[in-house]
Amino acid sequence: MCRRSIAMRTCPSRHAARGALVAACAAIALAGCATESRDYPGVTHDALWTAALDAANHPQYDDWIVAENGVFADEGTDRIEIHRELKRDRARDGGALRREGEEWALSVRLEVTDRIPKVLVASRSGFRSHGFLRQADHFFAEIDARLAQRGTGTAAPSQPAVPANAGSLEAPSALEASQVESPK
């Protein structure tokens, strides 16, 4: 019994130190997990800023309705702050409809390192909440789509727009291509 009471007296300080160390390590680990980034080689800073700002101001979701979308942009510091509320009605396994909602506070920053622009998306809550990676990937996909539409993207090359009255366009045959005069 005496040993136990001595151990009880020394344990709280040992546990407190160990607990503080674990808490500090967890805070550092979680802080690092709250940021996702993507490089955009071959894209100019201005094109990337325009695409990121458009993705922030005009989000598009297939499975959510944007109930609120607050955006603050500071071009001088290449920073965009987003507060977004998403809602949807969803039935699981044939059950009744249930209202779901998500709220996101994201900080977006553009950086240029070694002449390669990079977009960083961070959770302003300081830790990676459930679904953060999904939201970050969604934001990057929206940037990619906007860059591709402008022909400056890295994700998919944009296709030239075909006027509605242009009819069908066919590639010339090898014979037709050889008969085309080259400019002098």
105 vs 126 pLDDT, higher one: 105
Model pTM score:
0.63
Task: Decide if pLDDT at 156 tops 70.
Answer: no
User: Is there a domain that residue 166 lies in?
Assistant: no
Structural domain that includes position 68: 32-150
Task: Write out the two tokens for 12.
Answer: 């709280």
Strands (E), the chain: 35-39, 65-74, 79-90, 98-113, 116-123
Does residue 49 fall inside a structural domain?
Answer: yes
Query: Does a structural domain hold residue 21?
Result: no
Per-residue pLDDT band at 44 (split at 50, 70, 90): very high
Let me know if residue 135 belongs to a domain.
yes
Q: Are 149 and 158 in contact (CB under 8 A)?
A: yes
DSSP 58: S
What single DSSP character describes residue 162?
-
Q: What's the number of domains the chain is made of?
A: 1
Domain presence at residue 14: no
Neighbours of 168 (CB within 10 A): 5
Of residues 101, 97, 91, 110, the one with CA closest to residue 40: 110
Tell me whether residue 174 is in a domain.
no
At which residue do the structure tokens 């490089």 appear? 39
* Residue 155 belongs to some domain of the structure: no
CA dist 164 and 154 (Å) reads: 27
Note whether residue 165 is domain-resident.
no
Give the whole-angstrom CA distance, residue 154 versus residue 59.
20
Q: 29-33, 71-75, 152-156 — which one is most confidently predicted on average?
A: 71-75
C-alpha–C-alpha distance, residues 173 and 184, integer Å: 23
CATH, residue 58: 3.30.530.50
Rounded distance between C-alpha atoms, residue 67 and residue 83, angstroms: 11
DSSP string, 146-160: HHHHHT--SSSPPPP
pLDDT band at 126 (very low <50, low <70, confident <90, very high): low
